[in-house]
């Protein structure tokens, strides 16, 4: 038996254990820690990842199955990432196999080789460049193709590019190669999805960084090659991106790779474009718009050190980068950095861990930092860098005003006063942006006679009315049906349509301003591929004169012509059940407001509210985000909520209500929770969703260590409870919302 060595393998299943397999003596290739192996798991063959090699197993060796195949001769995941993922599995109390496999792109999970495919690139030869195509008169297709290549602005063409303009180009191109007019070289695939060239044309920026920008950049470049965490708090439009670029150039000059993380919605292509124009290097982008092949190529390019900059959303954090020397996380307050299902990690918090392990600086940037990050500055964990002026020469922060809409005429969600303002700005050639955090036409339909509403059968929520197809849709479970024209309960013939969503605002404004170009940007209007990009370009160029949108419009965009921003329903966040509700409301108001007055023209912001006296709104407008955060953090501290305590939630879902309650009660009774306060079982704020009851047990502790000691004990024990089989459960560490 002693000639067998054992591989301890993490498998993509939601189980906390690792699994031992024998390495057959006949293998000439020993698997290494971090390599993928093919194994038999139950009745299925799966791909697992080797965590360690062992001499002994706690199982009888005769019961162990052999490894079927070793897929990687070199470890797929390098030592530093293995360490990070193991740490994360421990911290989030999530099964290691699931952690590892959710960190890998799909094709790697499926066992595809971690190599780049190569593709042909065609270019003119010396003689091809000067060849007169009339010499090809008897081969018109070849002649046309040759003159196309001669006219192309690109020095090399790939099959993808030729496919755009040509059918059947292969055989004429082959002939041109035979005639030595065109030559072909095989090159590895480009990881830059939308760009036609590897290298951007470096354009020198026309302005110099201001003193604040320079000193912020200097602090960070001075810290390269050691761990330090920075928070760059710069007002909207203060030129944070320019600071990033300056620092990145320094890092690249020192032969370091740079990882840039951005929020989920839409920003990656724009940022990639801006970076490509400035940085003379290979940039890989990793975001949800890529297909599996592109994602694979980008991952491999980064992990081989070919791509020097990686720009990506949350999960790009797990990309191996051998020369990584700097991590930047833009809009660090954004909730999309927290994964909300499965392996519920926070990319910001893990970015700090990765930077610390690998001894490099990490830079978090935001105009509205999260309370956690502000508190970390107070505690001396992060160094604060501030930008207090707008970057562009004449840009000033906008004027923000509250508009009391109590008892005012409010046609379709917009007050008469705001309408006047819109007219005024349009006639001054300004662009208008209206923000509303609710899509669809109206949040419900209602009967005035009997009180019937469009409640979803499967959720504790109303179904939203969509006007363009006259349907009701539940935004929580996706259930859909035609909108009734009379009350289904009492047959009364006119139904009342209270409240407004973005679609209603659009319809109303199109009637009021028939000759104005109005563009609505929300999830419903940007479903088609490329549509969001098109609409954002139309917004940036000023072609769209009124922009109506949800959060998609709030984040990081630079629309230089916007002079008026209207926030239509700011009140939601004031009365949220979530302890982060007011923090998120303030961030949203400041971020949306920041879209105004970014160019030459002054900006104005109008916030419609039914609560103009609310102290939080006043603090925000009078003392700005920093003042607001100070006040709100004092309240947080008094209530002992994070960041002044540590929280985790055990969530569960069940078809029958009692099952979830019984399960959480059993957790409480059967498991030890010394040093931790328990709250619950409590119903989730939306108790029923998609036909399942959702309950939660909240664990809170003043000491992080105590909370984690309890969770470490709970995680493997929960699955042994009697009531566990009738529920789906999960542990959420540092939850970002209670839903
Ligand atoms: P942020 O990311 O902080 O919102 P950006 O980096 O997008 O800000 O910059 C906002 C605008 O100001 C951009 O159009 C940018 O080109 C411009 N800008 C930034 N820094 C300067 C500067 N030092 N001088 C002139 N314009 C600048
Ligand atoms: Zn009715
Ligand atoms: Zn529903």
The pLDDT value recorded for residue 313 is 93
Ligand found nearest the CA of 395: 1
On whether the CB atoms of residues 439 and 502 are closer than 8 A, the answer is yes
In the block, tokens 């563009």 appear at 519
Ligand in nearest proximity to the CA of 366: 1
Which domain CATH number covers 679?
A: 3.30.70.360
Ligand number nearest CA of 456 is 3
Which of 242, 328, 554, 597 has most ligand 1 atoms within 8 Å of its beta carbon, as the pocket-test mutant? Answer: 242
Q: Does 99 lie in the same domain as 143? A: no
Q: Is the dihedral of CA 150, 154, 160, 165 positive or negative?
A: negative
HSE-up of 294 (CA within 13 Å, CB side)?
Answer: 15
Judge if 152 and 263 occupy the same domain. Answer: no
Q: In this structure, which long-range contacts are made by residues 494-497, counting pairs with CB atoms below 8 Å and at least 24 apart in sequence?
A: 494/448, 495/445, 495/446, 495/447, 496/445, 496/446, 496/447, 496/448, 497/441, 497/442, 497/445, 497/446, 497/465
Q: Using CA atoms, how far apart are residues 142 and 166, in angstroms rounded to an integer?
A: 12
User: Which ligand 1 atom is at minimum distance from the Cα of 240?
Assistant: 3
Domain finish residue from 366, 387, 408: 387
Smallest Cα–Cα separation from 181: which of 172, 168, 190?
A: 172
Q: Give residue 713's pLDDT.
A: 92
Q: Using CA atoms in the order 159, 161, 167, 169, what is the torsion angle rounded to 10 degrees?
A: -50
- Do 63 and 29 share a structural domain? yes
Ligand 1 pocket mutation pick from 239, 275, 367, 388 by most atoms within 8 angstroms of CB? 239
Same-domain status, 216 and 182: no
Q: What is the CATH number of the domain that holds 134?
A: 1.10.10
Q: Measured between alpha carbons, how far is 421 from 427 in angstroms, rounded to an integer? A: 10
Picking from 173, 188, 203, the residue at the C-terminal end of a domain is 188
The answer on 653 and 628 residing in a single domain is no
Boundary (domain end) residue, out of 635, 662, 681? 635
| Pair (251, 373) in one structural domain | yes
Residue 52 lies in a domain: yes
Report the domain count for the chain.
5
Return the CATH number at 35.
3.40.1440.60
Residue length, the chain? 739
Residue nearest to atom 14 of ligand 1 (CA): 392
Can you give the pLDDT at residue 195? 37
Residues 419 and 375 in one domain: no
Q: pLDDT value at position 274?
A: 86
Residues 281, 368, single domain; the answer is yes
Q: Mean pLDDT of successive 10-residue segments in the chain (739 residues)? A: 76 92 88 95 95 91 92 94 97 96 95 84 90 87 90 83 83 91 79 40 67 96 97 93 96 97 77 87 87 90 95 95 97 94 96 98 97 97 95 77 82 88 94 94 92 94 94 95 94 89 95 95 88 89 94 82 91 80 92 85 90 89 93 94 96 95 94 91 94 96 95 92 94 88
User: What is the C-alpha end-to-end distance of the chain, expressed in Å?
Assistant: 53
For residue 125, give its domain range. 118-188
> Cα 284 vs. chain centroid, distance in angstroms?
16
Report how far residue 554's alpha carbon sits from residue 564's, in angstroms, rounded to the nearest whole number: 14
3-state SS, one letter per residue, for 169-197: CHHHHHHHHHCCCEEEEEEECCCCCCCCC
Residue 490 placed within a domain: no
What distance in angstroms lies between residue 459's CA and the mean position of ligand 2's atoms?
A: 21
Question: Does residue 479 lie within any of the structural domains?
Answer: no
Same domain, 254 and 219: yes
Residue 412 lies inside a defined structural domain of this protein: yes
Q: What's the rounded Cα separation, in Å, for the pair 719 and 13?
A: 14
Contact predicate 606/403, CB 8 Å:
yes
Question: How many whole angstroms from 462 Cα to the centroid of ligand 3?
Answer: 8
Distance CA 129, CA 202 (A): 25
In a domain, 724, yes or no: yes
pLDDT at 159: 81
Instruction: DSSP letter for 12, please.
Output: S
pLDDT given at position 194? 38
SS3 727: coil
Asked whether residue 468 is domain-assigned, the answer is no
Looking at ligand 1, which atom is closest to the CA of residue 209? 23
Q: How far, in Å, is the centroid of ligand 2 from the Cα of 453?
A: 8
What's the pLDDT at 200?
A: 42
Asked whether residue 170 falls in the same domain as residue 82, the answer is no
What residue ranges line ligand 1, CB within 6 angstroms? 207, 209-210, 213, 234, 236-242, 391-393, 558
Looking at the structure, tell me whether residues 182 and 215 fall in a common domain: no
Q: What pLDDT is recorded for position 199?
A: 40
Extract long-range pairs of 270-273: CB within 8 Å, 24+ residues apart.
Answer: 270/536, 270/557, 271/241, 271/311, 271/330, 272/192, 272/194, 272/195, 272/311, 273/194, 273/195
Residue 719 lies in a domain: yes
46 and 16 within one domain: yes
* CATH code at position 631: 3.40.50.300
Name 652's Cβ contacts closer than 8 Å, sequence gap at least 6. 660, 663, 664, 694, 695, 696, 727, 728, 729, 730
Whole-number Å distance between alpha carbons of 398 and 510: 27
Residue minimizing CA distance to atom 18 of ligand 1: 391
Ligand 1 atom closest to 235 (CA): 3
**Which ligand lies nearest to the CA atom of residue 480 in the structure?**
3
Cα gap 92→90, rounded to integer Å: 6
40: in domain: yes
**For residue 167, what pLDDT is reported?**
82
């Amino acid at each position: 038996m002693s000639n067998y060595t054992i591989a301890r393998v993490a498998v993509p299943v939601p189980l906390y254990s690792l699994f031992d397999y024998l390495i057959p003596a006949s293998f000439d290739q020993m698997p290494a820690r971090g390599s993928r192996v093919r194994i038999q798991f139950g009745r299925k063959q799966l791909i697992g990842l080797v965590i360690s090699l062992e001499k002994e197993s706690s199982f009888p060796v005769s019961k162990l199955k052999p490894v079927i195949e070793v897929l990687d001769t070199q470890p797929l995941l390098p030592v530093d990432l293995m360490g990070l993922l193991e740490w994360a599995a421990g911290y989030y109390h999530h099964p290691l196999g699931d952690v590892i496999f959710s960190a890998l792109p799909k094709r790697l999970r499926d066992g595809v080789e971690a190599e780049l495919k190569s593709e042909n690139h065609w270019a003119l030869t010396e003689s091809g460049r000067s060849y007169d195509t009339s010499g090809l008169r008897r081969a018109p297709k070849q002649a046309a193709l040759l003159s196309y290549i001669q006219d192309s602005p690109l020095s090399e063409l790939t099959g993808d590019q030729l496919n755009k303009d040509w059918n059947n180009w292969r055989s004429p191109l082959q002939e041109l190669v035979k005639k030595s007019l065109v030559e072909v070289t095989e090159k590895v695939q480009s990881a830059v999805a939308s760009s036609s060239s590897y290298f951007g044309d470096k354009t020198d920026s026309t302005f110099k960084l201001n003193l604040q920008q320079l000193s912020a950049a200097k602090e960070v470049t001075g810290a390269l090659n050691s761990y330090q965490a920075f928070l760059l708090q710069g007002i909207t439009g203060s030129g944070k991106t320019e600071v990033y670029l300056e620092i990145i150039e320094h890092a690249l000059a020192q032969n370091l790779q740079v990882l840039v993380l951005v929020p989920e919605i839409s920003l990656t292509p724009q940022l990639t474009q801006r970076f490509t124009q400035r940085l003379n290097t290979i940039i890989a982008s990793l975001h949800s718009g890529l297909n599996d092949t592109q994602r694979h190529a980008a991952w491999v390019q980064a992990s081989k050190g070919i791509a020097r900059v990686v720009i990506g959303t949350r999960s790009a954090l797990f990309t191996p980068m051998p020369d990584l020397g700097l991590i930047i996380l833009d809009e660090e307050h954004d909730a999309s950095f927290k994964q909300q299902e499965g392996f519920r990690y926070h990319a910001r918090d893990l970015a700090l861990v990765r930077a610390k392990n690998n001894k490099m600086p990490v830079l978090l940037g935001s105009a509205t930092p999260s309370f956690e990050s502000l508190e970390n500055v107070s505690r001396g964990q992060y160094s604060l860098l501030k930008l207090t002026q707008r970057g562009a020469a004449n840009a000033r922060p906008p004027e923000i005003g509250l508009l009391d809409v109590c008892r005012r005429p409010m046609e379709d969600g917009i007050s008469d006063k705001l309408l006047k303002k819109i007219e005024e700005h349009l006639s001054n050639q300004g662009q208008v942006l209206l923000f509303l955090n609710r899509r669809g036409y109206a949040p419900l339909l209602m009967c005035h006679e009997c009180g019937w509403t469009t409640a979803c059968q499967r959720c504790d929520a109303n179904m939203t009315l969509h006007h363009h197809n006259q349907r009701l849709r539940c935004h929580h479970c996706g259930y859909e049906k035609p909108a009734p024209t009379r009350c289904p309960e009492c047959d009364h013939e006119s139904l009342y349509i209270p409240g407004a969503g973005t679609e209603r605002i659009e319809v109303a404004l199109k009637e009021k301003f028939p000759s104005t170009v109005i563009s609505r940007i929300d999830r419903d209007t940007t479903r088609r591929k490329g549509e969001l990009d098109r609409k954002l370009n139309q917004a940036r160029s000023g072609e769209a004169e009124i922009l109506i949108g949800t959060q998609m419009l709030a984040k990081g965009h630079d629309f230089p012509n916007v002079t008026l921003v209207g926030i239509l329903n700011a009140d939601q966040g004031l009365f949220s059940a979530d302890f982060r509700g007011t923090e998120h409301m303030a961030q949203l108001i400041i971020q949306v407001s920041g879209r105004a007055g970014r160019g030459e023209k002054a900006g104005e912001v109008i916030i419609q509210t039914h609560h103009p006296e609310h102290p939080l709104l006043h603090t925000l407008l009078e003392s700005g985000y920093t003042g607001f955060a100070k006040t709100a953090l004092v309240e947080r501290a008094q209530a002992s909520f994070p960041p002044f305590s540590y929280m985790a939630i055990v969530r569960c879902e069940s078809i029958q209500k009692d099952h979830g309650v019984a399960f959480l009660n059993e957790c409480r009774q059967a498991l030890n929770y010394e040093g931790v306060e328990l709250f619950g079982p409590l119903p989730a704020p939306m108790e029923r969703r998609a036909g399942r009851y959702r309950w939660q047990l909240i664990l809170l502790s003043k000491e992080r260590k105590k909370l984690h000691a309890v969770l470490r004990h709970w995680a493997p024990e929960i699955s042994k409870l009697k009531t566990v089989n009738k529920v789906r459960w999960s542990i959420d560490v540092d939850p970002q919302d209670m839903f």
